[in-house]
Structure 1
Amino acid sequence: MIRRLALPLAALIAGAALAQTPPPTVPTPPAAAPQPAATVQVTLTTSEGPIILALEKDKAPITTANFLHYVDAKRFDGTTFYRRVKVADGFGLVQGGISQDPKKAFPPIKHEPTTQTGLSHVDGAISMAMNAPNTAQGDFFIMVGASPSMDATATQPGYAVFGRVVQGMDIARKILDAPTDPDKGKANGMGGQMIAAPIRIISARRTSTPIAAPAPATTGA
């Protein structure tokens, strides 16, 4: 014989009322604001003034670590911006670094394409100079004007962007307008691109002064 559990009428009414009472509302915590990717700030003190960079250590860790290796070893000190490629007024690139000096060079690094990092050759982007993928060492260039054609594609490796200028683009534009020596660089197919009086990089140091940064050098994809 199955025994039933008998409850007083008052208890049944109370239980029914309890079952109909909605549970207390738990407030939903506000969504956390997305955190910007961490960057490392480096100041290039040049003979024309400072250029301050924000390097994307999270998005381009290999290339950023390589650049910082040269900075921390002070191997950019005393080097120059020695080349400029001026496509039009206010558009081109300026190149600097160790100028492939074997005494200053560290081993080449693995190529980090923009399809992997999500970065792009926007105005002010800093990217690595190289002859072919996996050959970049201590030479770099800064974009003056955007050139997405230098980004990687499914068939082209492109160049490795790893940061952007956050202060000093006026200096980069001044370097782009520097006079060139028509005879220098001809043997390497860079005739008319080598700066007649290269702009000195006096020092390159990690710095931490807060700078109002522009939008990240990303593709937006």
Structure 2
Amino acid sequence: MKPYTLLFLLCACLFACSKPQYPIVEIETALGSIELEIYENEAPVTAKHFLANVDQNIFAKACFYRVVHLDNQEGRDIKIEVIQGGLFHDSIVDHLPTIQHERTDQTGILHKDGVISMARNQPGSASTEFFICVGDQPSLDAGGLRNPDGEGFAAFGKVIRGMDVVRKIQMQKEKDQMLLKRIPILSIRLIKE
């Protein structure tokens, strides 16, 4: 074996061994599946909460119900593109535990294309509702202007397979950002620890 081939193989092995291993969650819908890597080390509070919800089958009757794209945000100066999912009904969500808000300037996870983050009202009110970014959404980061409090949203993972499904969901028929036909989440499960 030539020395440079051996060096190349060694470098490739070191790179592969040094890449962090993250838990992977699969969300199965009628439109296809989405795989997410969950950043436990970077966003420990949010990631562990989401994984606990998956483990406890909290999302058994979850769905994708809200889609935001450039054409359905009349009157908004700062536009975003996301799909939102979770338990949908406030009467259910309001009775579940909430978590401490992890800002993006603490975690380093920015709202880039495919990033999953927690939906919330006030900081510290996130529970079960989540969204996936379609394209980069810097106005959702800490200091961003989409939310008047400037705290941003708590990002905790990223789509590694299935962005075509995310985009398909985003293009479904809606009225005032709410899907006319919600997309049921058939299953959401941990497929790799």
TM-score by length of 1: 0.70
Distance 1:135 1:63, change over 3 A: same
Partner of 1:199: 183
Q: Note if contact 1:38-1:58 (Cα within 8 Å) is conserved in structure 2.
A: no
Larger radius of gyration: 1
Q: How far did residue 132 of structure 1 move?
A: 1.1
**Partner of residue 118, structure 2:** 128
Contact 1:100 1:139 (C-alpha < 8 Å) held by counterparts: no
Partner of 1:189: none
Secondary structure of the residue aligned to 1:99 is coil
* Match of residue 95 from structure 1: 84
For the 8 Å contact 1:78–1:200, the answer to whether it is kept is yes
- 2: CA distance between counterparts of 1:40 and 1:113? 21
Q: Which amino acid aligns with 1:198?
A: R
Structure 2: 5+ residue stretches without partners: 1-10, 73-79
Task: Tell me what 2:64 maps to.
Answer: 81
1:162 corresponds in structure 2 to 156
Give the deviation of 1:98 after TM superposition: 1.1
Shift of the 100–133 alpha-carbon distance from structure 1 to 2, 3 Å rule, reads farther
Moved beyond 3 Å, runs of 4+: 100-105
| DSSP 3-state at the match of 2:42 | coil
The 5-angstrom pairing of residues 30-41 of structure 1 reads 35-41=18-24
**Which one has the bigger helix percentage?**
2
Rounded Cα–Cα distance in structure 2 between residues aligned with 1:203 and 1:101: 21
Corresponding position: 1:46 with 2:29: yes
> What's 2:136 paired with?
146
Identify which of structures 1 and 2 has the higher relative contact order when contacts are C-alpha pairs closer than 8 Å and 6+ apart.
2
Q: Which residue of structure 2 lines up, in the alignment, with residue 208 of structure 1?
A: 192
**Partner Cα separation in structure 1 for residue 45 and residue 21 of structure 2:** 14
Provide the secondary structure at the position in 2 that maps to 1:111: coil
Residue type matched to 1:85 in 2? V
Structure 1 residues 40 and 102: CA distance shift in structure 2, 3 A: farther
Give the distance between the partners of 1:77 and 1:145, measured in 2 at CA.
28
Residue identity in the other structure for 2:37 = A
Kept in 2: contact 1:125–1:165 (CA 8 A)? yes
Q: What TM-score, normalized to structure 2?
A: 0.80
8 Å CA contact 1:38–1:57 kept in 2: the answer is: no
Alpha-carbon distance between aligned partners in 1 of 2:102 and 2:89, rounded to the nearest angstrom: 20
In the aligned structure 2, how far is the partner of 1:103 from the partner of 1:137? 11
1:38–1:56: 8 Å Cα contact kept in structure 2?
no
